Amino acid sequence: MGNWINLDTHHGKARAWEVLPEGTPRGGLVVIQEIFGVNPHMRSVAERFAAEGYAVLAPSFFDLLSDDADAPPVELPYDGDGVKAGLEKVDAVGVEKSLVLVRAAASRLAVHGKVGTVGYCWGGSIALLAALRLGLPSVSYYGARNVQFLDEVPKAPVMFHFGAQDKSIPPEAIAAHREKLPKMETFVYPADHGFNRDVGHAYDPDSAALALDRTLKFFKEHLG
């Protein structure tokens, strides 16, 4: 079971869902949310990685937009209104503040050993940036904003997962990952955007299981 803890940044406080494994952690993981917030699905993702032996923090990035410390963490519905609100919020948070929060979470986790990140949707692009700019080994799931950053030189390894049926990430965008970052593994699955989200219509259990297996092998290699 997890619980909320507070992270301090120079942009303000943000909560993070913390889940610790049984026994000594093999490392730390920052789980980076989709546009819908640190909702029950994202908390279950954090718990899944903790069950694999990692100390996990899933920061609530939208906390950086609120002045009310007593307001509950934002959780948006999986519908058109939720998508619209989520896109507005991630644009308002922006890249710089997001990476500051990732760094704060990673610093908190460093006591447990090496730290990496895994992100989904918008979080997939922040995970890529965590590898490029913060030097954290990262796994990026269907990050639709990745292409604009692919000319940056990575400071750490990164793995990519995409769905072949994802209209938000066309084949040429996936090809750009392989062209510009040829040393990084890029996998494509017969699935849509959000195929790892087990509460949505796009969930593909076979693709999700294979991607998770590859992700765990990546972290075993780079974190321990």
pLDDT band at 70 (very low <50, low <70, confident <90, very high): confident
* Banded pLDDT at 224 (limits 50, 70, 90): confident
Question: Amino acid identity, residue 154?
Answer: P
pLDDT average, residue stretch 180-208: 97
> What digits encode the pLDDT tens for the residues 113-127?
999 999 999 999 999
Examine the pLDDT at 199 and tell me if it is beyond 90.
yes
Q: Any idea how long the chain is?
A: 224
| Inter-residue contact 129 to 117 (CB < 8 Å) | no
Q: For residues 71 and 4, what is the distance between their CA atoms, to the nearest angstrom? A: 13
Under 8 Å between Cβ of 129 and 160: no
Percent of the chain scored above 90 by pLDDT? Answer: 95
Mean pLDDT computed over every residue of the chain: 97
Task: Inform me whether the pLDDT recorded for 84 exceeds 90.
Answer: yes
pLDDT at 67 over 90: no
Predicted local confidence at residue 18, as pLDDT: 98
The three state secondary structure string of the chain is CCEEEEEEECCEEEEEEEECCCCCCCCEEEEECCCCECCHHHHHHHHHHHHCCCEEEEECHHHHHCCCCCCCCCECCCCHHHHHHHHHHHHHHHHHHHHHHHHHHHHHHHHHCCEEEEEECHHHHHHHHHHHHCCCCEEEECCCCCHHHCCCCCCCCEEEEEECCCCCCCHHHHHHHHHHCCCCCEEEECCCCCCCCCCCCCCCHHHHHHHHHHHHHHHHHHCC
